[in-house]
Amino acid sequence: MDGYNRDGDLKPMDAEQFREHAHKMVDFIADYYKTIENFPVLSQVQPGYLRNMLPDSAPNHPESLDDIFNDVQAKILPGVTHWQSPNYFAYYPSNSSIAGFLGEMLSAGLNIVGFSWITSPAATELEMIVLDWLAKLLKLPDEFLSAGQGGGVIQGTASEAVLVVLLAARDKVLRRLGKNALEKIVVYASDQTHSAIQKACQIAGIHPENCRVIKTESSTNYALSPDILCEAIAHDVAIGLVPFFLCATVGTTSSTAVDPLLALGKIAKSNGMWFHVDAAYAGSACICPEYRQYIDGVEEADSFNMNAHKWFLTNFDCSALWVKDRTALVQSLSTNPEFLKNKASQANMVVDYKDWQIPLGRRFRSLKLWMVLRLYGIENLQCYIRNHIKLAEHFEGLVAQDPRFEVVTPRIFSLVCFRLLPPRNNEDNGNKLNNDLLEAINSTGKIFISHTVLSGKYILRFAVGAPLTEERHVTAAWKVLQDEASVLLGRL
Ligand code: PLP
C-alpha cells in the first residue's frame, strides 16, 4: 500500500494524493517514450493472453499504485501495439504530442460534460473559436465559419461525422418528399470510400439496395469518376429513385486517392444532393499552401471532415467536422427535455453541441486542439507535415531503386503503396508472396506496416506520420523489408 487509500478512507480527488500519483504517471509515460523503441511495434501476444494473468474479480481492498505500475509493465505493455513508435508505419498515424497530451490532461482534470452551453460556456465557445481557426488555416469557405449559418464541431471520429451529416441530409430530403420516401433515397460513394459510410447507411436505415458503390480504376488512380457518377445518378432518376447524398474522399484509406471535388460537387448540387467531403487523414496536409489544391472544390461541399487525431498532433479523439447549414444537423439531432431547459438555450442565444452529435455527453476536446495550435504555431505544424511527406518520398525512392519491388500508385502525401514483384509475373503467387512478406516483417517486431488490395493485387502500405519518426527509421525499415524479401525469394 502507498500509505493512503486505506479502506474506509477514500478521498478520490484529494489534491495532494493527485499530485503525487499524477507525477508518478507522468514519469512513467516519459520513460515509456524514452524506451519506446525497445518494444516490438506490433504486439506479439496471442488472443486471450491476459485472462490468465489477471484475477477473476476486482479487489475488495485497495492495491498500491506501484503494484499496478508493475502489472502495466509486465502484463499490459506486452499486449500494446505501439502506435507512437517511430517504427510504426501501419494504417494511418494517430499522433500524440506534448501539447495534445497536456490538453487531454486538462480536459480530464476539469472533467466537465459540455453538452449544452450552460454546462460549461468555455467548452462550447472555445470549440467554436478553435474550429474557426482551423477552418481559416485550411482556407475553407466562410460559410463553414460559426459567424454565419454554419460552423464546426468536434466529433469523436470520422465515422460519427459522416453519420451525423447523413442523418441531417436524410431528414432534409424526407421533409421534402415525405417519410415514406425512405425506400427511394440513394447514397453514392466510391469503392475506395471508407467503410464508415456503409455503417452510417446501416444506422440511418438507408435501404442497402440504395447504396451505390461506384467502381474506381487504376487509370484514374482510384479516384471517383464524375462521368460514371453521372451515369449512375441518371439511371436511378430514370427509375424513380432520389439521389440525396454523395461522399467524396480526399486521401482514401487504401491509397490516398483524391476525388475531384469541384466536378463532383457540381453534380451533387445540380441534383439537389448533400455533398460530404471526408479528408480524415489528408486534411492535415492541406494546411500547407502547396497541398491546399487537393481540397479545391470544397466550396461546393455541404460538410467537410478531417481527423486532427490522425496527423495533426492532437491525441485521439478529435475529429473536426464543419457544416454550412447547422440547422440541418440540429433539426435531426435535437431533443429538448425539461431537465435540460435553461434560459440561454431557450432564447436561442447559444450553440448547444448536444444537438450536433449522437450522444448527449461530450468532453472538453477543444482544449487539445487549442494547445496544439498555440504551443506549436502554424509554421511548425506545416514543417511537421512536410517532413513526413519528405520521409515518404525518401522511402519511395528506396523502393524504386530495388528492381525486385514496384511502387503501385503515385504517392501524393505520406503513404507509399508498393509490393514485391512476383517471380515470372505469376499474380496469384504475388498476392501470397506479399502477404507472407507482411507477416514476416510484422512478426520481427522491428516495424509495423499494413496492407490493402487494389485491382485484385495485394499491396503493402507504408504510412509515415508517427511523431518520433526520423529518416534513420525509414532507412532501417527499408532494410528490414529488403532482408525479409531476400529470405522469402530465396525459398522460392
Ligand atoms: N475516412 C478515412 C479516409 C479514413 O482513412 C478513416 C480511417 O483511417 C476513416 C474515415 C475512419 O476514421 P475514424 O476511425 O475516425 O472513424
> CA 367: distance to chain centroid?
18
194 CB less than 6 Å from ligand 1?
Answer: yes
Q: Which residues of 227-248 are buried (b: 16+ CB within 10 A; e: fewer)?
A: eebeebbeebeeeebbbbbbbb
Average pLDDT over residues 110-121: 98
Average pLDDT over residues 2-22: 83
Average pLDDT over residues 425-434: 82
pLDDT of 5 strictly over 90: no
Q: Please, what is the average pLDDT of the chain? A: 96
CA 417–ligand 1 middle distance (angstroms): 18
Please state, as a whole number, how many other Cβ atoms lie within 10 Å of the Cβ of residue 467: 17
CA distance 150 to 323: 5
Q: Compute the C-alpha angle 174/327/293, nearest 5°.
A: 100
CA distance 308 to 80: 22
CA 73–ligand 1 middle distance (angstroms): 31
CA 394–ligand 1 middle distance (angstroms): 25
pLDDT of residue 425: 60
pLDDT of 369 strictly over 60: yes
Give yes or no for a contact between 170 and 177, defined as CB atoms under 8 angstroms apart: no
For the CA of 161, the closest atom of ligand 1 is 16
Contacts of the segment 381-385: beta carbons below 8 A, 24+ positions apart: 381/287, 381/312, 381/313, 382/287, 382/288, 384/313, 384/467, 385/284, 385/285, 385/287, 385/288, 385/291, 385/311, 385/414
Place 458 in a pLDDT band, splitting at 50, 70 and 90. very high
Cα distances from 373 to residues 99, 174, 308, 312, 470, in angstroms, run 9, 40, 11, 9, 22
Helices 158-177, 196-204: crossing angle, 10 deg rounding: 40
Q: Whose CA is nearest to atom 12 of ligand 1?
A: 158
Place 423 in a pLDDT band, splitting at 50, 70 and 90. confident
Instruction: Tell me the one-letter amino acid at 380.
Output: N
How would you classify the pairing of strands 303-307 and 319-323? Answer: antiparallel
pLDDT of 94 strictly over 90: yes
CA 424–ligand 1 middle distance (angstroms): 37
CA distance 449 to 435: 11
CA 404–ligand 1 middle distance (angstroms): 32
CA 312–ligand 1 middle distance (angstroms): 14
278 CB less than 6 Å from ligand 1?
Answer: yes
Give yes or no for a contact between 431 and 457, defined as CB atoms under 8 angstroms apart: yes
116 CB less than 6 Å from ligand 1?
Answer: no
Express each pLDDT in 316-353 by its tens digit: 999 999 999 999 999 999 999 999 999 999 999 999 99
Q: Whose CA is nearest to atom 5 of ligand 1?
A: 253
pLDDT of 7 strictly over 80: no
- Does residue 424 or residue 488 have the better pLDDT? 488
94 CB less than 6 Å from ligand 1?
Answer: no
Q: Compute the C-alpha angle 428/253/377, nearest 5°.
A: 145
Average pLDDT over residues 124-141: 98
> In the numeric block, which cell numbers belong to residue 389?
511527406
193 CB less than 6 Å from ligand 1?
Answer: no
pLDDT of residue 6: 67
255 CB less than 6 Å from ligand 1?
Answer: no
CA distance 118 to 216: 47
How would you classify the pairing of strands 415-420 and 457-463? Answer: antiparallel
Average pLDDT over residues 11-37: 97
Q: Which residue has cell 493527485?
A: 18
158 CB less than 6 Å from ligand 1?
Answer: yes
> In the numeric block, which cell numbers belong to residue 450?
499494413
CA 159–ligand 1 middle distance (angstroms): 7
pLDDT of 250 strictly over 70: yes
> In the numeric block, which cell numbers belong to residue 262?
469541384
Cα distances from 40 to residues 29, 85, 128, 136, 469, in angstroms, run 17, 9, 40, 40, 15
pLDDT of 52 strictly over 50: yes
Mutate to test the pocket of ligand 1, among 83, 94, 159 (most ligand atoms within 8 A of CB): 159
CA 194–ligand 1 middle distance (angstroms): 6
Average pLDDT over residues 139-148: 98
Share of the chain above pLDDT 70, in %: 98
- Residues 6+ positions from 158 with CB-CB distance below 8 Å: 194, 196, 278, 280, 305, 307, 319
How would you classify the pairing of strands 415-420 and 405-407? Answer: antiparallel
Express each pLDDT in 202-249 by its tens digit: 999 999 999 999 999 999 999 999 999 999 999 999 999 999 999 999
pLDDT of 449 strictly over 50: yes
For the CA of 92, the closest atom of ligand 1 is 8
CA 22–ligand 1 middle distance (angstroms): 32
pLDDT of 1 strictly over 60: no
Contacts of the segment 3-8: beta carbons below 8 A, 24+ positions apart: 5/62, 6/62, 7/61, 7/62
Express each pLDDT in 476-490 by its tens digit: 999 999 999 999 998
